[in-house]
Amino acid sequence: MDDPRTAPLHTVDELCAGADSACAHGDLEALGRLAGRLAEMSREHPSLHQGLTELRRLCRSDAERALRMWMRLKRQLLAPSA
């Protein structure tokens, strides 16, 4: 596993694209890792942070719910800020 202190930084857009790719390939482990990274980036938005943390947990137990949740969370992540 990458050390977060030395791993390259990624934008939200890049992480979302990676999560979409993980979904397309049925790689829930990767989706869970990406959800965790996005959750760390969204600490100042409690409801989004909580949703991403829940997504990470769902990736280990309920693939269908995890994929549906990702689609909803991605819309929130990529929505233009008002």
Quote the longest CA-to-CA distance of the chain.
36
The answer to whether residue 6 sits within a structural domain is: no
Count of domains observed in the chain: 1
Sign of the torsion formed by the C-alpha atoms of 14, 75, 44 and 33: negative
The answer to whether residue 55 sits within a structural domain is: yes
pLDDT digits (tens, 9 = 90+) for 15-61: 999 999 999 999 999 999 999 999 999 999 999 999 999 999 999 99
Sign of the torsion formed by the C-alpha atoms of 51, 54, 59 and 62: negative
Q: pTM of the predicted model, to two decimals?
A: 0.84
Residue at token pair 């938005």: 45
Instruction: Give pLDDT, residue 81.
Output: 65
The answer to whether residue 7 sits within a structural domain is: no
The answer to whether residue 5 sits within a structural domain is: no
Instruction: Give pLDDT, residue 1.
Output: 41
The answer to whether residue 2 sits within a structural domain is: no
The answer to whether residue 16 sits within a structural domain is: yes
